[in-house]
Structure 1
């Protein structure tokens, strides 16, 4: 089982086969734990055959183990433990499937492919449009601003290097870059028509 069960001692009464009538007590935690451990592969396979989502299967098996453990005093010794546990797994699987269908949308593959193609085409158009706007906005900058933008972002030069190359202070280069970025942003927001 996934959870530690030590310290969860309980007694289960052995019944005479009639629900609600209990005859004798049997220390059963060790027996119950052994039975539960012995059916883990069967439980996993059973849930996997119903759920088919590997992440959800693990969650359902874990939840099933918890429910089985909590309901251990409802198990009637002498009956089929495996059938009893699989019935609980069945209902836990149904509940998980119902919850997962409520929580997410599932699209057909052809629809996903179509949406993907449209998104790619739209992205290409937007990228081309933005590139054209940026080019236009760069041409509207002063020569000094264009040079500093080119050095900083196209050639990846440090502000220190640009300051040394242009014989300006780092503060002056920083201010020039800040004003150039502000002008580019304003121009881009206006659609490149500033």
Structure 2
């Protein structure tokens, strides 16, 4: 059985796709990780998104922003993933997710990377108990009510604590970015 040699346009498409995906890897992976806060899930979702992007690459309009297109594809993939797991974990509401998508599809890649770096730094500054709580709620397969019971809290108290931690992280990120901008 003879194997046909790919024509040059197929090879060119593959090369272009690989280049565009590599250029947007950090931005896209950061976007996915922001939603799932679990490295293994983020890696799996990135692979799924990459496959969808490749299968739909013929629909990508050359000359437009590949990163924005990839983020929209990632958004749909993440939403499908979240629907399947919504009952067992805490996730952002669809409205919050959409605001993140809207912001990140128009934000320059450097700005997204700066915010991700700031978030990493701010996570390191969290109190150990707050960081452990984030890991339990966003990084494990446990349900909030089970975590609350193990912590000796109500689910409502746990949601309140998570909201407080997110506000602390947001304030830290904004301070960090403001300090970097003024230096």
TM band (smaller chain): 0.3 to 0.5
Bigger radius of gyration among the two: 1
Structure of higher RCO (CA pairs closer than 8 Å, 6+ residues apart): 2
* TM-score, normalised with respect to structure 1: 0.43
More helix by share: 2
More strand by share: 1
* TM-score, normalised with respect to structure 2: 0.45
